[in-house]
């Protein structure tokens, strides 16, 4: 009789232990699921609060370490590298380090520092702002401007104030074309006109830019000032790039 009672008691104890483990396991699983759900909800909340344009952001590569190589007229060469990416709810910034190649093998007299510069892109709710720092080699005479804005469609345009040689000017940028390349990526072609720029024969400075989805700037050209009233078309394009 005692043996039977012992067996019954042991069986009850085992059953209670198994139920306890099962209950703990169930609570643990529920807690894990709740944590995952809370994390997902938080991520969705944070994403919902981001106001910078995801559509415009497609036209600036944001993969740190990606290197782009450009070449152009008169042995122009430039390498640019995605060096830093930062995000907040209001904006996303992407910084590029630029290095120009000295094709004269030192005969130009340019120091290493003269060949380095930095470009920062700030993506906001409806625009991308480009800022260029310490650049003495770029053919562009605009150091800060809105390069893309609003809905990307042909013939849309925007006005902005730019500073050239310490003077304020009104610039008008318009989207001339929107195409698709063989890989299905969208290509946006813009033109910027700045009137009243001293030294230019027509007193109008012009820039043409091509932006490719997933890459960024793939082609640039402008009416480069040679001497008072004399200009020539100067351009460069990408010849090697890293994609997303």
Condensed to tens digits (0 to 9), the pLDDT of residues 73-105 reads 888 999 999 999 999 999 999 999 999 998 666
| Secondary structure of the chain in HEC code, one letter for each residue | CHHHHHHHHHHHHHHHHHHHHHHHHHHHHHHHHHHHHHHHHHHHHHHHHCCCCHHHHCCCCCCCCCEEEEEEHHHEEEEEEEEEEEECCCCEEEEEEEEECCCCCCCCCCCCHHHEEEEEEEECCCEEEEEEECCCCCCCCCCEEEEEECCCCCCCEEEEEEEECCEEEEEEEEEEEEEECCCCCEEEEEEEEEECCCCCCCCEEEEEEEEECCCEEEEEEEEEEEECCEEEEEEEEEEECCCC
Chain Cα centroid distance, residue 167 = 28
Residue 203 has a CB neighbour count (10 Å cut-off) of 12
Q: Is the pLDDT of residue 13 over 80?
A: no
Q: What is the pLDDT of residue 147?
A: 98
Q: What is the pLDDT of residue 234?
A: 95
Average pLDDT over residues 172-201: 95
Distance CA 241, CA 218 (A): 9
Bridge partners, residue 225, by sequence = 231
pTM of the model: 0.77
């Amino acid at each position: 009789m005692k043996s039977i009672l012992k067996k019954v008691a042991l069986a009850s104890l085992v059953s209670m232990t198994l139920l306890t483990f099962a209950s703990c396991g169930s609570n643990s699983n529920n807690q894990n699921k709740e944590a995952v759900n809370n994390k997902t909800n938080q991520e969705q909340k944070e994403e919902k609060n981001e106001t910078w344009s995801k559509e415009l952001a497609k036209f600036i590569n944001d993969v740190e370490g990606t290197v782009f190589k450009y070449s152009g007229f008169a042995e122009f060469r430039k390498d640019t590298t995605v060096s830093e990416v930062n995000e907040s709810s209001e904006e996303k910034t992407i910084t590029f380090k630029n290095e120009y190649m000295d094709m004269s093998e030192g005969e130009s007299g340019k120091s290493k520092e003269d060949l380095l510069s930095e470009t920062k892109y700030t993506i906001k709710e409806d625009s991308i702002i480009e800022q260029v720092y310490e650049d003495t080699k770029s053919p562009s005479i605009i150091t800060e401007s809105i390069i893309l804005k609003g809905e990307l469609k042909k013939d849309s345009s925007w006005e902005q104030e730019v500073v050239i040689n310490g003077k304020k000017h009104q610039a008008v940028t318009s989207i001339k074309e929107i195409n698709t390349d063989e890989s299905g990526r969208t290509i946006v072609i813009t033109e910027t006109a700045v009137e009243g720029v001293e030294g230019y024969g027509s007193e109008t400075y012009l820039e043409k830019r091509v932006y490719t989805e997933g890459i960024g700037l793939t082609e640039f050209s402008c009416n480069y000032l040679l001497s008072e009233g004399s200009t020539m078309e100067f351009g460069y394009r990408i010849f090697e790039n890293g994609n997303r």
